[in-house]
Amino acid sequence: MKKLILAILFAFVVLASFVAASESYDITKVAVNGIEASNDNQVQVELGTSAQVVVYLEGTGDTTDVKVRAWMGGYEYGNLEVFSEMFDVENGVSYKKTLYLEIPSDLEVSDHDYTLYVEIYDDKDSEMVSYSLYMEEPRHSINIKEILLSSSSVDSGDYLGVRVRLENLGENDEDDLRIVASLEGVSTVAYVEELDAKGGEDDEVSSQTLYLTVPSGLSGDYELNVQVEYDNGDTTVEKTTWVRVNGTTAVDSDALVSIASVTGLQVGQESEFKVQITNLGETREFNLFVYGVENVDYTESITVVADRSGEMIFSINPVEEGMQEVVVEVSTADGLVEQRVFNFDVESKSNFWLILGSVLVVVVFALFVILHLKRL
């Protein structure tokens, strides 16, 4: 009997809440990306977009300090929600509130179904409705995940290394991506041949390093722009970061760096060089940038504990002979630790085997002549 009485009381409370919610306002319609949401349909929304949620309201009473909220659960890193500004509702007046709900590109969509909740509330009452959304990945979507600079502060005329990390968030593989980094009218271009789709066999994140010469005469903070063209050049994505020219370079003095001299290079022959780091401060990550020449490969980062040493390697496989220049930089999150510029002369391919073969031919010929003379 007690359980029955409690159930009846609970039902009255719920009914009373519903009646109270309808005294001042009603949600009459909700549209998502221009499509009216209802209990009979699902509205399709793509990941990595900003979903437009338009809420239509009808004032059924007078109340103040009202807000509209749209939200979704099920995201690993917290609820997705957006709020309107605060407003007043008057009886018999219709209202329209437009919200933009950011949909993360890493939302899990194995079953595609998510619930969108739309709520109007004040300090006493509230009303909420819910609709089903169909979440799916876009066919083509490239995200510039990160832009890493060899130094956040450079002098005009210096080299600047720009490492661009790309991730494919779409359903399709992307081919022939074109990356352009530009700074005050100076630009450089690099290409990524292929970037696998999200969830493919290979990692969908790719790194590409571009090398830019900072224009002379600059002083101050400047925007460096990175633009990526993909989907046969039909789609473009951009991201910017700041570079300080002729500013004060943040130098990390809590480390000692020893870089092997770059010498003895030959065309087509890969040579390795060591970078030794002694960490005099707290445990931290050291980053290596090597740029200025083609066919260079290097350890991107290493973590060195306090009062210990670590080693990174960079290799160069020259493609042409002659005088060349390479820039080697070591940095941490606190700033630049060491920068060295090496000028070196690349020799042509060794003709050792050709010379050896020629010597052997001469020796054989000489022996033949000697034997022939003895017979005479």
Q: What is the pLDDT of residue 130?
A: 94
Q: Which of 65-69, 85-89, 319-323 has the lowest mean pLDDT?
A: 319-323
Residues 240 and 314 in one domain: no
Buried b (16+ CB within 10 A) or exposed e, 252-278: beebebebbebeebeeeeebebebebe
* Domain membership flag for residue 194: yes
Residues 128 and 184 in one domain: no
283-332 pLDDT per residue, tens: 999 999 998 888 899 999 999 999 999 999 999 998 888 888 888 989 88
pLDDT of 15 over the 60 cut: no
Q: What is the pLDDT of residue 21?
A: 46
Last residue of a domain, one of 245, 264, 279: 245
Q: What is the pLDDT of residue 4?
A: 45
Residues 92 and 163 in one domain: no
Residues 210 and 291 in one domain: no
Residues 89 and 38 in one domain: yes
Residues 340 and 287 in one domain: yes
The larger pLDDT score, comparing residue 181 to residue 200, is at 181
H/E element, 370: helix 352-375
Q: What is the domain extent for residue 35? A: 23-136
Q: What is the pLDDT of residue 195?
A: 86
Residues 283 and 341 in one domain: yes
* Domain membership flag for residue 11: no
Residues 210 and 168 in one domain: yes
Burial label for 51, CB within 10 Å (0-12, 13-18, 19+), is buried
Residues 102 and 160 in one domain: no
* Domain membership flag for residue 370: no
| pLDDT, averaged across the chain | 83
Q: Three-class SS of residue 317?
A: coil
Tell me what the mean pLDDT of segment 200-228 comes to: 81
Sign of the C-alpha dihedral, residues 78, 81, 87, 88?
negative
Report which DSSP code applies to 197: P
244-282 pLDDT per residue, tens: 887 444 566 788 898 988 988 999 899 999 999 999 989
Q: What is the pLDDT of residue 359?
A: 62
* Domain membership flag for residue 13: no
Cα–Cα distance, 296 to 68 (Å, whole number): 55
Last residue of a domain, one of 95, 113, 136: 136
Query: How many domains, the chain?
Result: 3
Cα–Cα distance, 270 to 265 (Å, whole number): 8
Residues 28 and 103 in one domain: yes
Considering the entire predicted model, what is its pTM? 0.54
Q: What is the CATH number of the domain that holds 339?
A: 2.60.40.10
* Domain membership flag for residue 368: no
Cα–Cα distance, 58 to 70 (Å, whole number): 17
Q: What are the phi and psi torsion angles at 94 (to 5°)?
A: -95, 145
Residues 322 and 237 in one domain: no
Q: What is the pLDDT of residue 239?
A: 93
111-156 pLDDT per residue, tens: 788 999 999 999 888 999 999 999 888 888 888 989 988 877 788 8
Cα–Cα distance, 222 to 163 (Å, whole number): 17
Q: What is the CATH number of the domain that holds 44?
A: 2.60.40.770
Tell me what the mean pLDDT of segment 181-195 comes to: 90
Q: What is the pLDDT of residue 150?
A: 84
* Domain membership flag for residue 51: yes
pLDDT of 30 over the 90 cut: yes
Last residue of a domain, one of 116, 136, 156: 136
pLDDT of 193 over the 60 cut: yes
Q: Which of 140, 150, 146 is nearest to 170 (CA)?
A: 140
* Domain membership flag for residue 6: no
pLDDT band at 355 (very low <50, low <70, confident <90, very high): low
* Domain membership flag for residue 9: no
Residues 241 and 271 in one domain: no
